[in-house]
Chains A and B, each alone.
Chain A
Amino acid sequence: MAAPIRKSHPLFSIANGALVDLPTPANISTLWNFGSLLGLCLVVQIATGLFLAMHYTADITLAFSSVAHICRDVNYGWLLRATHANGASFFFICLYSHIGRGIYYGSFLYMHTWSVGVIILFLVIATAFLGYVLPWGQMSFWGATVITNLMSAIPFLGTDLVQWIWGGFAVHNATLTRFFTFHFLLPFIVAAATMVHILFLHQTGSNNPLGVSSQLEKVPFHPYFSFKDIVGFMVMLMALILLTLLNPYLLGDPDNFIPANPLVTPAHIQPEWYFLFAYAILRSIPNKLGGVIALVMSVAILFVLPFTHKAKFRSLSFYPLNQFMFWTLVTIVVLLTWIGARKVEDPYILTGQILTGAYFLFYLINPLTLLIWDKLMD
């Protein structure tokens, strides 16, 4: 009997291998939904971004008013803008949940998949940063100034590098136009990297909550997880729609409704919520270069995880102490997010420094605790 077309057709067989006949562990939980949700977020951001780009002007004299024009004049422009802005927040909610699942269940042991995933994280962080500059409000401008100035901490090359990034002596028109170019380009690189990420994942198959081999208990992706993913899409889209339609500026900064003024710095510069934990880490180190290194390491430390795992079991399902430590890490990140939004004064300075230390300490203590627990259980 001839094979069904989904298996024999050169193009359909690729889709079939990823979405229909893909052998999937039967016991993967809702935390495994965040991968597909990230794909949905990317599609939403690219679609809304594409249509926003039709009306946006990347020029410092026109950018702010072009965003106002989109919100006020363009048909459904208000909806496109609000969806794109809040879609970025949901992108990071899904990212952090996806990474948290990876840390908790030891998914990072799929080294290639994990490494590409951390690269995607850096790309999305860059994309979000570049995108936030485009409305050319006060927070856009000063956020761009502060973060690009970080590069000046690099010895020898720093100042030249920063002026090269700026295309001038300060954040100005040249900076805005190139930021728009890269904000447009990077999501497509993210899409390509995502395909590589999935390619590597499908070499091994998905992990599962037990962290043991699931080879004996696989089910086809369709219909079980295709429908489960669709339910996840509906839940996330409902949340996005509710936020976008009921309180679209809840997560925004009022200062970004003021056009950029290079001569006046706002009293409280802060990035969007999803960068606050890293911002707190940056500000906790009194040394300029040290702060920059700590900022980069707060994300790059994820690369190190596969090399620190020496436990007998893959996931934390059987390590209660480490589960507690994991949730302590989550709490630390939430508290760092809070600190990142506070002024640089007592008691927040010391609190931020302690939390920064605790954050990095987790990555040291966690594998050691796993080893000790294994020895105790032996």
Chain B
Amino acid sequence: MLSYIGRSCQLAPALKGSVQAVASGLKNAAPVTTQVRYAHSDIQVPDFSAYRRSDVQDPRTKSGESAASRTAFTYMLVGGGTVSGIYAAKSIVTEFISSMAASADVLALAKIEIKMDDIPEGKSITFQWRGKPLFVRHRTDDEIATEGAVDVASLRDPETDEQRCPDSKWLVVLGVCTHLGCVPIADAGDFGGYYCPCHGSHYDGAGRIRKGPAPLNLEIPPYEFQGDLLVVG
């Protein structure tokens, strides 16, 4: 740009001279530019006062005096804009990612209610809960006594019957074998509970692994009793 020519070192004394002339000759005049262009034409330096901040409208004031406040204002704007931008970006990313999370209809089926009166004593009924089979067993007194007498220390996944069945009458477990995910068969196996036909895992009447390759007891979902309803989830 041609204006830079006027700022070169060789021309500095001449430049200073012209600034002096402007300063002394036009003390009370309207603000004028002190920039001089050594262009081979009649190009007029445009008036940039519309773009200047009020602190530096007058070219005779020292810009260093208002530098701190002007810088602070700029930094505030940039800082505020950055914070807003980060918040907006975070919101957008959150919105996209959470759209992939469970939707309201899936969450609505996350809880099921089961009428306990529909399950006679000694029977195990299978329901669907969160896409998986749920075994609900109405245990007899004999079954409760048998499971309560088991030596917990000998179990692969030691858990007492009381831990697994807060209400001893009811066993609520997920019907998913902890070996590789097959659905065990109710009232089958050597321990009066469940038997997984895929690889021969035997579970007892409290859903604990007793024989076979499965590493853990059948999973117990969160549930509670509300009157005559069993609410799972």
Contacts and interface: CB of A to CB of B under 8 A. Distances in A.
Query: Do these two chains really belong together in a complex?
Result: yes
Interface of A: 47, 51, 54-55, 69, 72-77, 79-80
A51 B94 CA distance: 13
Interface in B73-127: 95-96, 98-101, 103-106
A75 B105 contact: no
A76 B95 CA distance: 6
A74 to B, nearest CB: 4
Contacts of A74: 99, 103-104
A77 B99 contact: yes
B95 A72 contact: no
Contacts, number: 33
A7 B131 CA distance: 55
A112 to B, nearest CB: 33
Contacts of B95: 75-76, 79-80
B103 A77 contact: yes
Nearest to A241: B88
A300 B101 CA distance: 44
Contacts of B96: 47, 51, 76
A69 B96 CA distance: 16
Contacts of A75: 95, 98-99, 101, 103-104
B99 A69 contact: no
A182 to B, nearest CB: 24
A364 to B, nearest CB: 43
A206 B104 CA distance: 50
A285 to B, nearest CB: 45
A76 B98 contact: yes
Contacts of B101: 75
Q: Which of B95, B98, B99, B104 has the most CB of A within 10 A?
A: B99
Nearest to B105: A73
A208 B105 CA distance: 54
A122 B109 CA distance: 45
Most chain A beta-carbon neighbours within 10 Å: one of B95, B98, B100, B101: B95
Contacts of A54: 99-100
A55 B100 CA distance: 9
B99 A76 contact: yes
7 contacts: A51-B96, A51-B99, A72-B104, A74-B99, A75-B99, A75-B101, A76-B99
Contacts of B105: 69, 73
B105 to A, nearest CB: 4
A69 B102 CA distance: 12
A127 B98 CA distance: 27
B100 A69 contact: no
Contact of B103 (A47, A51, A69, A79): A69
A55 B98 contact: no
Contacts of A69: 103, 105
Contacts of B99: 51, 54-55, 74-77, 80
B100 A73 contact: no
| Central interface residue in A47, A55, A69, A76, by most chain B CB within 10 Å | A76
Given A74-B104, A76-B95, 16 more contacts: A47-B96, A51-B96, A51-B99, A55-B99, A55-B103, A69-B103, A72-B104, A73-B103, A73-B104, A73-B105, A74-B99, A74-B103, A75-B99, A75-B103, A76-B96, A76-B99
Nearest to B98: A75
Nearest to A76: B95
